[in-house]
Structure 1
Amino acid sequence: MNTNHIIIKMVLDRWYGSVTNFNKILDSLSDNQLQKEIAPGKNRGIYLLGHLIAVHDDMLILLDMGEKLHPELNEPFIKSPDKTAIAIPSAPELRSFWAKQCDVLQQKFSNLNTDEWFAKHTAVSAEEFANEPHRNKLTIIITRTSHLQYHSGQLVLLK
């Protein structure tokens, strides 16, 4: 196994470990608990779940892996603050969206070869990438892993 394979394995192991941890937290919370605010005046758990789905949906575009699964979640969970959208999907619907999205991402990730992981993502131009080769697809996984871990820590507060 060469160094690039090891790096990819390390990053993806942390990603999958973070998803597993999030799933344990999510599974430990009832739909009613997801309706609670993390802290007074802060986001609700259901909003954080929808937000993570919408952000991970964006990864499909950033990694050039296809279209979003749930583009309808962008407005209420990325562009709008919690409690401002007229209607959002129910907790059971969002749980289902999350599970499906995790499966799709895992399948898409498993199809990328080493060179593809180190290729540019779609939010960077060829010129920028030539000067900043660290702005690659693997970096997207690193930043999204940190984002997922941050919100996992918030969800724990609902217990």
Structure 2
Amino acid sequence: MTTTETIIKMIFDRWNGALKNWDNLLNSLSDEALQNEIAPGKNRGVYLLGHLIAVHDDMMILLGMGEKMYPELNEPFIKSADKVVTEIPSTAELRLMWVNQCEILKQKFNGLNAEYWFEKHTAVSAEDFAKEPHRNKLNIILTRTTHLTYHTGQLALLK
């Protein structure tokens, strides 16, 4: 295994570990528990779930893998704070969206070559990428892993 392949494996091992940690925690909480705020006046668990789906949906575009699967989640879970938008999908619907999205992302990630991950993502210009080659697709996975881990820590407060 080359150094590049080792780095990619390390990042994806962490990504998959973070997904597993989130899933284990999410599956340990009832739909009713997810309606609770993580702290008084803070986001509810259901909002965190919808937010992660919406953010991971953006990866489809950032990584050049197609369109968002759930564009309707952008308004209530990225552009708006919790409880601002009153009509959101049910917790059961969000759970299904999460599982489906994770499976689709996994399928898309499998089999990609190392060079793919070091290409620029779609939110950076070619000019900026030439100056900052770390703004690549692999860095999107790294930042989303950190984001997922952060929200897993928040969700744990509902236990």
Tell me, yes or no, whether TM beats 0.5.
yes
Match of 1:38 in 2: 38
Unaligned runs of 5+ in 1: none
- Name the % identity: 68
Match of 1:67 in 2: 67
Q: How far did residue 61 of structure 1 move? A: 0.3
Match of 1:83 in 2: 83
Match of 2:20 in 1: 20
Q: How far did residue 12 of structure 1 move? A: 0.4
Match of 2:100 in 1: 100
Unaligned runs of 5+ in 2: none
Q: How far did residue 141 of structure 1 move? A: 0.4
Q: Match of 2:24, as an amino acid?
A: K
After TM superposition, the score normalised by the length of structure 1 is: 0.99
Q: Match of 1:35, as an amino acid?
A: Q
- 4+ runs deviating over 6 angstroms: none
Q: C-alpha separation between the residues in 1 aligned to 2:77 and 2:18?
A: 21
Secondary structure at 2:158 match in 1: coil
Deviations 1:42-100 (A, max 9, x none): 00000000000000000000000011000000000000000010200000000000000
Secondary structure at 1:31 match in 2: coil
Q: C-alpha separation between the residues in 2 aligned to 1:111 and 1:64?
A: 15
After TM superposition, the score normalised by the length of structure 2 is: 0.99
Q: How far did residue 112 of structure 1 move? A: 1.7
CA RMSD of aligned residues (A): 0.5
Match of 2:117 in 1: 117
